[in-house]
Amino acid sequence: MKRVDDFRLQLGKNELVPIIIGGMGVDISTAELALEAARLGGIGHISDALVHDVSDRRFDTEFVKEKTKFYKHNIDNSDKSIIQFDLGKLAEATRLHVGRTMDAKRGNGLVFLNCMEKLTMNGPRETLQVRLNSALDAGIDGITLSAGLHLGSFGLMAEHKRFRDAKLGIIVSSVRALQLFLRKTARLNRLPDFVIIEGPLAGGHLGFGMDWAQYDLATIVGEVAQFLKTEQLNIPLVAAGGIFTGTDAVNFLNNGAAAVQVATRFTIANECGLPDKVKQEYFKASEDDIIVNGVSPTG
Ligand SMILES: Cc1cc2nc3c(=O)[nH]c(=O)nc-3n(C[C@H](O)[C@H](O)[C@H](O)COP(=O)(O)O)c2cc1C
């Protein structure tokens, strides 16, 4: 019986432990968690969701206070559509969050940024452009494009000097979504360095409806692998969603996945940003406690 450690993820010149800790927004996948994954030779994610708040918490900046002061006339208004993000401050907060994390990195692993397209910040294109390019400026090893189709995101980074050497990947849940992405980015002559396939058990920002139970991760991984083979594209595939034990991971690694992305399993780690009380609830929970709903603030 093989073990996870018998496998390695080859990403360009990097040979990595084939475990990626999935991005968990608003500092659930903290810098500490991502750095520990990298120290141990794998890949960890930080997230840029609510990066102003995260920066204030980590570095005592006052981004939120300043913005609240500026928009105080709108505080009681439930319509927040007039709120605009100052792009300079967004860049500053992102560079701080990413840059300080990268400065602290030790070991042979990598730290990536999870970047959700559906986080539109009332200015989808401009804010996304700033988020992506500021993260590259600040030395992030790679970016995982998630929660959305990201049809324009490669284009938004194409002028950056690190566009061709940073590790850039995409999360999809179907061959169709990957085809769309590849078609839209073909003119840039730049393939993703990795493709993460989230099956229905990954929860969150997926394309599945309430018929999610009819889909299964192994089948989708097989379909995407077949598609890439037909197209003669050699892109590492990462399986995600419901992978909990070493045996689960080895099953995917044995069947052609180059790595696994795991998140829930790490939510009870010391380094995870969830409050201790919530971590205890995770310990206590059984399968019967799981409720599936269609609510996700980021699509
Ligand atoms: C608490 C939590 C928060 C998450 N937040 C994000 C997020 O902000 N962006 C994203 O792309 N995926 C997010 N995910 C999905 C994970 O990155 C990962 O792909 C998925 O959870 C893998 O399935 P698993 O939790 O069964 O291991 C989140 C998952 C969890 C458990």
pLDDT digits over 100-145, tens only? 999 999 999 999 999 999 998 888 999 999 999 999 999 999 999 9
Give the residue, by CA position, lying nearest to ligand 1 atom 13.
24
Q: How far is the CA of 103 from the centre of ligand 1 (A)?
A: 25
Cβ proximity of 260 and 8 under 8 Å: no
Measured from the CA of 144, which atom of ligand 1 is nearest? 11
Contact 99, 55 (CB under 8 A): no
Q: How far is the CA of 204 from the centre of ligand 1 (A)?
A: 7
Confidence category of residue 205, pLDDT binned at 50, 70, 90: low
Q: Closest ligand 1 atom, CA of 25?
A: 8
Q: Is residue 299 part of a domain?
A: no
Distance 146 CA to ligand 1 centre (A): 10
Which residue ranges have their beta carbon within 6 Å of ligand 1? 22-25, 28, 47, 49, 114, 116, 146-147, 171, 198, 201-205, 240-243, 261-265, 267
Q: Is 77 contained in some domain?
A: yes
DSSP, collapsed to helix, strand or coil, labels residue 259 as: strand
Interval 242-292: pLDDT, tens = 999 999 999 999 999 999 999 999 999 999 999 999 999 998 999 899 888
Closest CA to ligand 1's atom 28: 24
Residue 59 lies in a domain: yes
Query: Does residue 298 belong to any structural domain of this protein?
Result: no
Residue 190 has pLDDT above 80, yes or no: yes
In a domain, 294, yes or no: no
Residues 6+ apart with CB under 8 A from 47: 23, 24, 25, 26, 27, 28, 29, 113, 114, 115, 116
Strand partners, 46: 113
Q: List the CATH number of the domain containing 148.
A: 3.20.20.70
Residue 72 lies inside a defined structural domain of this protein: yes
Question: What DSSP string describes 96-133?
Answer: HHHHHHHHT--SS-EEEEEEETT--TT-HHHHHHHHHH
- Structural domain boundaries enclosing 86: 4-289
Residue 22 alpha carbon, nearest atom of ligand 1: 17
Give residue 299's pLDDT: 47
- What proportion of the chain, given as a percentage, has pLDDT over 90? 81
Q: Is residue 131 part of a domain?
A: yes
- The tally of CA atoms less than 13 A away on the side-chain side of residue 19 is 26
pLDDT at 295 over 80: no
Atom of ligand 1 nearest to the CA of 198: 19
Mean pLDDT of the chain: 93
Number of domain units in the chain: 1
pTM above 0.85, yes or no: yes
Q: Is residue 57 part of a domain?
A: yes
